[in-house]
Amino acid sequence: MTMRVFVLIAILNLGSFRCTQGQTARDVRDVVGVVHVAGRYHLTDKDFLNEGADQILALGSRVIKVWFYGKRHEHPDGVYPYNSQWPKADSLVEGAKTPYYQELFDKPFTTYVMVVTALGRDDGYWRNGISEEQKKDEQRQFYELARYLLTRYKDTGKTFVLQHWEGDWMVRGNFEANAKPTELALKSMIEWLNARQAGVNQARQEVGQQGVHVYHATEVNRVVQSMRQDFPNMVLKVLPYTNLDLVSYSAWDSATEHYADPNVLRQALDFIAAHTPDSPDFGDRNVYIGEFGMPESGYSLDQIRTAIPNAVRTGLDWGCPYVVYWQLYCNELKDPNAKPPVTSNDAVRGFWLIRPDGTKSWLWDYFHDLFEANSQRL
C-alpha cells in the first residue's frame, strides 16, 4: 500500500466533527494548526520566524503557535535566530511592533497562539509568592498587549490566544513528574493566572472586540496522573479557582503515551473541562490541544500513522477550538553539544513536518490532504 493511500484512509476515517458550543461551523484549516519554535535548522535565507510561517501556510493551515516574549527563552532571538536581527523591546507592545512579528501578523492566519510571559521577571518567580504590586504589573502588561492587538487588528477577523508554556512544570520549578507542587506555588499560580486574565478582560471591556478577538489561556500537561491517581496537579488544584477564557492541554501524557487508545485523550479532555469553569465564548468546550506529536527517531511510521490521526480525530470530535501539532521543524538535537543549524536528518529526533534536508514527512502529506479534504466540513 502506498504512502498516499495510507494518508487518504486516515483522512476518510475522520468522519464528521463537533462544533465548539456557541460557534458556527468552522473550516478545519482554522482549527488544526502547527507549532513553529526553536527549530535546529532552516531552509531559506528568510528570517526564521516568517520562513516557518510561510511553510505552515503552504501546508494549508491558518493556525500557528509561536513563542512571543518571555523569560523561558529570554528573547525571540533565542528561538528564531536564523537570518534575523532582533531589536530590543522594553514592553510586550514593542515586541508586537517589531518588523518580524508585524510581518507574521499581516499574513493570512486566522489564529495566532502566542506563548508569552510578562517582561522583567523570571517566568516562575511567583512560585515563592506573588505580591499585589506584581499582580498589578502582570495585569498591566497583558492589558497593554491585548489593547494593542484589539486596536491594531480591528476588523481583520484574527484571533490571538495568549498562553504560557506547560504549567505543571512551571508550578514545580522542575521536570520531576512525581514531585508535588507546594501549596504556596499552587496558590500563587492561581493569582498569577487571574491577574493575566484580568488584563485581557480590561482591554476587551475598554476597546471591545470588533472583528478581532484576544483570549487568555493557561496550559496543563500532567492530566492523566491526576485523572488516575488524584495527584495534586494544576487540573485539580489550580483550574477550579480560575476564570480563564481557555485551557491549553499539552497532551503528551495521553496522545503520545497512550496513542493506541484515543479514549485516554478523550477522557483527559473531559477531565480538564469538568474542573474548569465554563467560558463565555467557548462554554464547556474551552479546552484545546496545544501540543501533541511523536518523533520519528523513537517510533515507527506505523505508530505515527496511528497516533497522530487518532489525536486529531479525537480533538475535533470532542469539540476542541484548536488542535496544534508539535511541530514544523525539529527542535531537539540528538547530541546536545551539536551546533545548529544542522543539515543532517540524523542530527535531530524527528519532531518535524519538514526534515533538515528539505524532504517532507508522511505527516506533511497527512495534514495537507486533511486541509484539502475537510475544508468547510466542521
Can you tell me the distance from the alpha carbon of 244 to that of 169, in angstroms, rounded to the nearest whole number?
A: 19
pLDDT 10s digits, 251-271: 999 999 999 999 999 999 999
Which residues on neighbouring strands pair with residue 113, listed in sequence order?
Answer: 65, 161
What is the CATH number that goes with domain 43-374? 3.20.20.80
Say how many C-beta atoms besides its own lie within 10 A of residue 183's C-beta: 10
Bridge-based pairing state of the strands 323-325 and 246-250: unpaired
Q: Please give the model's pTM, rounded to 2 decimal places.
A: 0.94
Where does residue 155 fall: left (phi above 0), alpha (psi -120 to 50 degrees), or beta otherwise? left
Predicted confidence band of residue 277 (pLDDT cuts 50, 70, 90): very high
In 3D space, the residue among 135, 104, 132, 106 whose CA is nearest the CA of residue 118 turns out to be 135
pLDDT tens per residue across span 5-46: 445 445 545 544 555 444 456 899 999 999 999 999 999 999
Q: Tens of pLDDT along 193-239? A: 999 999 999 999 999 999 999 999 999 999 999 999 999 999 999 99
State how far the Cα of 337 lies from the Cα of 180, in Å rounded to an integer: 32
CA R_g for the chain: 20
Burial of 187 (0-12, 13-18, 19+ CB in 10 A): middle
325-357 pLDDT, tens digit per residue, is 999 999 999 999 999 999 999 999 999 999 999
* Cβ count within 10 A of residue 258: 18
Domain segments of the chain as ranges:
43-374
Mean pLDDT, residues 280-299 taken together:
97
Question: Contact at 8 Å (CB) between 311 and 292?
Answer: yes
Q: What is the pLDDT of residues 141-192, one digit of tens each?
A: 999 999 999 999 999 999 999 999 999 999 999 999 999 999 999 999 999 9
Which pLDDT score, from 0 to 100, does residue 75 have? 81
